[in-house]
Amino acid sequence: MNAGKIASVILLTLSLLGCANLDEVREYATESAKFSAYTELTTRFRDTYEREQPYLSGEPAQHAQENDRRRKAAYNDLLKIHRGVALYMQTLAILAGEDTFSLSGEIDSLAGGIKAYPDLGIDAKHVDALAGITNTVTKWISASRQQNAVRNMVREGHEPLQTTLDGMNSLIRYYRKTNENEHKTVLGFFEVEMLFLDAPEDKLLEALARAHLQNKVREYSQAQQKYDNAEQGIMRIAEGHRKLFEGIDKLSSAEIRSAISKFAKDIKSVRQNLQYVHE
Amino acid sequence: MALKNQKQVEAFADNITACADDIHGRLIEAIKDKKIDQMTAQQIFQNEASLRQHANTLYIDAANFVVDGLGESHTSLIDLIGSARESIRTMEKMAGTIGLIANLILLAAAACTAKPGPILSAMKAVQSDILALNNSREPLSDGIDDLAGDSSANHTAIIRT
């Protein structure tokens, strides 16, 4: 085998090694970072008083005001939890990004820079060869650096992330339970008062109350769906990261890649369902 | 507080909610059977609503327990994000180094030809590469410092937006 063939075999081997294949990881992290149902439900939790206030009077109204003050005080800390997870996912997506560790732009400028001075005695063939070899070698170096960076992040991030997601799920449960109490206060008010509307002069009032009640029933059933979706989404994010953590040493295996990709798609479709609930 | 942890608080709140639900069921039955007048019904409904507010107070307590419990995990995540960004920065420096090498090759080639024009322009390029490598990038305020809060994490965010 002549030197040229040997060189091309080496180049081919290096370029195959150079593929980091982190598309699925990036896809998963990007979708997870976009998942913001928690934030919306945190805001809904903060605004509980605004919705229940017209139906309260006396002692429960005062108590509700005090609860309102405390929910508003906790709001920023509750949001911070989500921002920590979103920032982690964004950073993971950038780490797994196609261009993050790529030096090819710099290598092009290297080749271009030398070509710009042909009178300096470096001929075009040399430049191409040099750029080609540098490209392949740096690609290989950067791909392994990238794999290592992603592995380290997933390994070290796994435990704090799972704990945080678990906490977010508990919080969603408290939001839901608070919302159920609000829902029963509002609908319960109508249920009680409407039972006393039997005089003929109450017809108009009764019709108005029924129309308002219909809207409220719809609003609370949509809210229920949001809590369901948020819980599903957070669960998928947690499961996806677990799969990533378990398969961290075989990220290029077809099984791990298709599993991670499926989580990314699930998270995306839960997010889209949520948008649908809004419309 | 008598209730020591998040689970206890939640269980207690669930019980209070269940009592309120129970009262509501009996109230509706009593109204339908015409056993009570409207004033009494409103009074009982107020008591029911009051119980729900008590339960909601406990759900806020439970949420605050979760927030406090996540402090350590939150700090770990933020620290980790900082070091991940550090590794991206190292790559960016490496990219800068390649530009420097290219310009050094030019400088060497120019020096061989002994032409002042190319030598000067190549030297300028090398100088600016070295300056660029030494100057750390401007930190971006994309929330990491704010998120780190009182923790000791003090990272320079360097990711290009």
Helix (H) or strand (E) holding A57: none
ipTM > 0.85 (yes/no)? no
Rounded (to 5) percent helix, strand, coil in chain B: 80, 0, 20
Q: Is A98 on the interface with B (CB under 8 A)?
A: no
Percent share of chain B, pLDDT over 90: 37
Counted across chains A and B, CB pairs separated by less than 8 A come out at: 201
Distance separating alpha carbons of residues A38 and A127, to the nearest angstrom: 54
Chain B residues with beta carbon closer than 8 angstroms to that of A122: 109
Of A56, A100, A178, the CB nearest to B91: A100
Chain B residues with beta carbon closer than 8 angstroms to that of A57: 46
Q: What pLDDT sits at residue B149?
A: 47
Chain B residues with beta carbon closer than 8 angstroms to that of A107: 98
Chain B residues with beta carbon closer than 8 angstroms to that of A134: 98
Query: At A181, is the pLDDT very low, low, confident or very high (cuts 50, 70, 90)?
Result: very high
- Average pLDDT over chain A, rounded to whole? 83
Interface of A with B in 59-88 (CB under 8 A): 59-60, 63-64, 66-67, 70-71, 74, 77-78, 80-81, 83-85, 87-88
Is this structure's pTM higher than 0.80?
A: no
> Residues A125-152: pLDDT tens digits?
666 666 666 666 666 777 777 888 889 8
Query: At B95, is the pLDDT very low, low, confident or very high (cuts 50, 70, 90)?
Result: low
Least confident of A162-171, A173-182, B8-17, B106-115: B106-115
Chain A residues with beta carbon closer than 8 angstroms to that of B141: none
Residue B160: is its pLDDT beyond 70? Answer: no
Of A83, A121, A188, the CB nearest to B147: A83
Query: At B154, is the pLDDT very low, low, confident or very high (cuts 50, 70, 90)?
Result: very low
Residue A248's nearest CA partner among A19, A25, A79, A83 is A25
User: Mean per-residue pLDDT for B149-157?
Assistant: 38
Q: What pLDDT sits at residue B158?
A: 32
Q: What pLDDT sits at residue A120?
A: 61
Q: Which domain holds residue A183?
A: 3-14+22-278
Distance separating alpha carbons of residues B70 and A166, to the nearest angstrom: 10
Write the CA distances from A185 to A61, B61, B74, integer angstroms. Answer: 11, 20, 35
Residue B118: is its pLDDT beyond 70? Answer: yes
Least confident of A36-45, A204-213, B150-159: B150-159
Q: Would you say how long chain B is, in residues?
A: 161
Overall number of domains in chain A: 1
Q: Is A117 on the interface with B (CB under 8 A)?
A: yes
